[in-house]
Structure 1
């Protein structure tokens, strides 16, 4: 809103109004505003929730070898994150941008879905929350909406990058002058850097383009669902999901910025995506909200984000990556989320398989994988056999586990950025 106000004032040569046309100015202002809102609103929110006795039911203390009880801590802190993202974006973003609209819809949609789950847990006293099938339906639906909008919208276009060989070994990258609908996406460690969904469906003949878009929509649904659930599983220790997501947000912000700048896009040999600079504004709000939330969520937590926050965070990360055509880099960038999800799948499926054979065998000491690092031998199921019972050798405090997960995410984020030049 303020963007349009100052653009109008710029027509009358009002001093300072031209600053609002710079993406760097609006992005940094968004970051600061998001931090301030999360710090101020977070305190008010926590006091209100405690006053109304709307707090998390006591979590199982048996999983913590250090005997930390987290009773009376407010949940649904994802509301703090949502407000801290939406208010700065609505004030400082260009609301006619299709990508920004998609991000706002994703934030509200998945925030509401997670909030419904937390509401059932807290107010209905049902620790299982919203049934899993309804969560999946909600995630699939927003994935379908995003995929179809990117397919149908005339504003969702890119300038494809083309390599031109000049004077022997010198390679010059140019972008096509016309922005077009494209099914290409960036793929790491490959020389030409692009994968075309329509070429994957070449067996469909003259219908390969339509089949490619259908494949793209399916891929969007899978990515949104997977990353959203991965972030949800990662939210098991104080500050873990918020810190990890902030780091991922920084990497995505870099990707969004270079994708919106034709010279940087040419240098890195990636697609130029007009309009994606507004994602930088959104991601600065996202990063600010994550850091501000850590003020209250760092160990020992004064508030939990709940599914209101974790489902929303994962969805935001997934949709940004899809918009900037970097979804195939998420297994590296979101490696922590991927491992968390994989550990749960392996643990549950192997246990079910062995149970049919009359044996109780588990792979890990606990799942998701972060719980493995704080599980004592005395807390293991005496009737089960553990394949990796001796790993790790001793339990760690959750603050140490959290910071080490952050460090791993920093390494993965750096590696993901490096893949733009490693081919």
Structure 2
């Protein structure tokens, strides 16, 4: 909004030219989202307590999680509000990719909100029926992907680039729809699966969005994309503002979600964060890179798949003591903080590896 209001006035007041720069607006979108989250958090947490939107045991977590019952959940509302408001404030609102991303982000947040509402108010620990949740995610994803292809006008929308390989570009044609849908829905659910310990999901999310910020900026810059030999997507650089806003909102939330957590993000946070991460990677043509930078989410999801598959194949035996894998380490005696910090370190290393793909080709 500030871009659209102030840039036309830059001919009169030269200092307003600074609003033309994506880097400037990204930095202040980050700070704005951080401040918004820190300001509204005490009020939101208090209201969540008053409305009894608190964590309920699902019955299959480690026994140590019993003490977490009663902690307010649905705190992801703060991330959705801060991320959206900050983006609307600092982004170029004539950019269609901004609106597609916000649509996906907020829509997945609504799905998560309904799920959390059923779990807390209706006291149904299973929440929204899995089928309803899945088809809600698919419906939103289909609309978002269709809009991306429409905006792109067939230039690069169905193309997938492989990292570390200089000229490896695959055009999936009509099959890209399924691939992109898998990325968006899969990432959304992967973040949801990871959100099982204080600070475990939000810190890797911040690192992931921080890394994607570089990728979308370079992808949307014709000279940088040519120099780095990556696909150029006109207009995608503006998504750096959104990524910055998500970094700020995530850091603000982590302030209250760090062990011992004062609030949990709930599905309203995890589904929206994952959905946004997926749509940003799809628009910027870095879907495969997302699997690297978001490796922690991949590991968590794969651990569940392996556990279920091994259990069925061996008629009752378990590969891990408990899945997702962070619970396995809990039952091995690792403290919650040790698990989360080590997963953060892994996430940071994976982010460096992802960034290295820009030059290692």
**Normalising by structure 1, what TM-score?**
0.82
Whether 2:342 is the aligned partner of 1:404: answer yes
Q: Distance in 1 between matches of 2:143 and 2:358?
A: 29
Aligned to 2:52: 53
Within-5 A mapping of 1:118-133: 118-133=116-131
Q: Distance in 2 between matches of 1:27 and 1:182?
A: 25
Aligned to 1:383: none
1:295 paired residue among 255, 260, 265: 255
User: Quick check: 2:148–2:157 contact (8 Å CA) kept in 1?
Assistant: no
Secondary structure of the residue that 1:57 maps to in structure 2? coil
Within-5 A mapping of 1:205-354: 212=173, 214-354=174-314
Within-5 A mapping of 1:92-171: 92-153=90-151, 156=152
User: Quick check: 2:4–2:93 contact (8 Å CA) kept in 1?
Assistant: no
- Structure 1 residues 51-91: Cα deviation after superposition (integer angstroms, max 9, x where no partner): 333322257697155x7711321110110000010111111
Whether 2:34 is the aligned partner of 1:35: answer yes
Give the total of aligned pairs: 361
Whether 2:359 is the aligned partner of 1:416: answer no
**Normalising by structure 2, what TM-score?**
0.95
User: Quick check: 1:61–1:68 contact (8 Å CA) kept in 2?
Assistant: no
User: Quick check: 1:59–1:69 contact (8 Å CA) kept in 2?
Assistant: no
Whether 2:320 is the aligned partner of 1:364: answer yes
Aligned to 2:2: 2
Secondary structure of the residue that 2:77 maps to in structure 1? helix
Secondary structure of the residue that 2:170 maps to in structure 1? strand
Aligned to 1:390: none
Secondary structure of the residue that 1:18 maps to in structure 2? helix
Secondary structure of the residue that 1:216 maps to in structure 2? helix
- Structure 1 residues 258-296: Cα deviation after superposition (integer angstroms, max 9, x where no partner): 112222212211122221121000000010011110010
Displacement of 1:329 after TM fit?
1.9
Please identify which structure carries the higher helix content.
2
Secondary structure of the residue that 1:195 maps to in structure 2? strand
Answer with 1 or 2: which has the greater Rg.
1
Unaligned runs of 5+ in 1: 159-179, 198-211, 376-393
> Residue 318 and residue 16 in structure 1: after superposition, are their counterparts in 2 closer, same or farther (change >3 A)?
same
Aligned to 2:72: 74
Unaligned runs of 5+ in 2: none
